[in-house]
Amino acid sequence: VNAQGGLYRNALQAAAFQGNESVARLLLESGAEVNTQGGLYGNALQAAAFRGHKSVVRLHLEHGAEVNAQGGLYGNALQAAARNGNESVVRLLLERGAEVNAKGGCHGNGLKAAKKFGHESIAQLLLSHGADQ
């Protein structure tokens, strides 16, 4: 269940990207490592956050996914969700302790990603949680 390779790095990240909660759950219950790093999205949590799959994000967090894990194109799950305008996922990540000012990734941080792609409500949400301008 932890074999490495391909665009998504592992089966768990592929299931997360596709929003396939049942496959992700099966993999996690079969011993898949929730925090494995690598691939385009850095980890399974970031892949699910990028695509806006809130139930899959929640599943990964319940199985011990590190909410502030760094890596991948967007640096962390919060920036990935903010970049794509996934406000409900941004809220969930913040509730679970996502660092609002975490730096990294191709946009620098979640606030910059939200602003760059015109997601003003997410930018305001991040600012209300203490994001640095």
**Which CATH number do you get for residue 56?**
1.25.40.20
Averaged pLDDT in 10-residue chunks for the chain of 133 residues: 66 96 98 92 96 99 98 95 98 98 95 98 98 93
pTM of this prediction? 0.93
81 in any annotated domain: yes
- Terminal CA-to-CA distance of the chain, rounded, Å? 42
88 in any annotated domain: yes
Instruction: In whole angstroms, give the CA distance from residue 119 to residue 107.
Output: 14
Q: Number of structural domains, the chain?
A: 1
Domain that holds residue 107: 11-128
Q: What letter would DSSP give residue 87?
A: H
Nearest 5°: phi and psi at 41?
A: -100, 5
pLDDT at residue 7 in the model: 59
1 in any annotated domain: no
4 in any annotated domain: no
74 in any annotated domain: yes
Instruction: In whole angstroms, give the CA distance from residue 6 to residue 86.
Output: 26
Tell me whether residue 91 is exposed, middle or buried, using C-beta atoms within 10 angstroms of its C-beta: 0 to 12, 13 to 18, 19 or more.
Answer: middle
18 in any annotated domain: yes
117 in any annotated domain: yes
**Dihedral angle, C-alpha 23, 28, 32, 34, nearest 10 °:** 110
Tell me whether residue 27 is exposed, middle or buried, using C-beta atoms within 10 angstroms of its C-beta: 0 to 12, 13 to 18, 19 or more.
Answer: buried
100 in any annotated domain: yes
